[in-house]
């Protein structure tokens, strides 16, 4: 039997007409492609040009109670920013905790050198997150041990975990 429809006998072609285009499926596919394209282009745009980002560049233990933290912030020029930095011991208990405030200054890039006071020698330091809200849900609560004396931080710290 012939597989090409045009080679079928006329009475078979009449019995099984040529199927039409499934316009409904074409419309659904076009809508799907447009929606997915919008999500992908928005995602790529936010990855290439994030509105706010932070990056830990370096940290160094200065002495038993001080750690120098160097990090950078990229933000819109008209945005006030708060960043959470903390230091922890080997058991992941907080030794130092500070939410730092950086008011808008017309610049989109800022490199920060901050000396974080610690309760004892730090094992690790991290910039947890930066946000435009000082009470952001992106800032976890401090996790100091019961016997750890929380050090008071210097400005621009607005919260030392108390």
Summarize pLDDT for 71-89 with one digit per residue, the tens. 999 998 889 999 999 999 9
Percent of the chain with pLDDT over 90: 58
- d(C-alpha 109, C-alpha 119), whole Å: 31
Contact 113, 68 (CB under 8 A): yes
The count of other CB atoms within 10 Å of the CB of residue 156 is: 15
pLDDT at site 142: 92
Question: Tokens 């419309």 identify what position?
Answer: 27
What's the length of the chain?
Answer: 162
pLDDT at site 161: 62
Domain 53-159: CATH class, spelled out: mainly beta
Residue 149 banded pLDDT, cuts 50, 70, 90: confident
Residue 125 banded pLDDT, cuts 50, 70, 90: very high
- What is the CA angle 156-127-72, rounded to 5? 70
Residues 6+ apart with CB under 8 A from 136: 82, 129
* pTM for the structure as a whole: 0.70
Residues 6+ apart with CB under 8 A from 30: none
57-70: average pLDDT: 95
Q: Answer whether residue 59 shows pLDDT above 80.
A: yes
106-134: average pLDDT: 93
Q: Name beta bridge partners: 70.
A: 58, 113
- d(C-alpha 79, C-alpha 129), whole Å: 15
Q: Answer whether residue 19 shows pLDDT above 80.
A: no
**H/E segment holding residue 12:** helix 10-15
């Amino acid at each position: 039997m012939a597989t090409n429809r045009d080679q079928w006998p006329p009475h078979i072609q009449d019995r099984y007409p040529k199927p039409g285009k499934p316009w409904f499926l074409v419309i659904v596919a076009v809508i799907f492609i447009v929606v997915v394209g919008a999500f992908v282009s928005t995602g790529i745009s936010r990855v290439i040009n994030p509105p706010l980002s932070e990056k830990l560049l370096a940290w160094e233990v200065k002495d038993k109670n001080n750690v120098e933290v160097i990090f950078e912030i990229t933000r819109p020029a008209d945005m006030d920013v708060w960043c959470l930095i903390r230091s922890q011991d080997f058991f992941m208990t907080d030794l130092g905790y500070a939410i730092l405030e950086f008011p808008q200054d017309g610049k989109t890039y800022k490199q920060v050198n901050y000396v974080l006071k610690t309760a004892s020698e730090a094992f690790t330091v991290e910039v947890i997150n930066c946000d435009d809200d000082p009470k952001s849900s992106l800032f976890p609560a401090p996790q100091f041990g019961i016997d750890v004396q929380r050090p008071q931080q210097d400005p621009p710290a607005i919260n030392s975990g108390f």
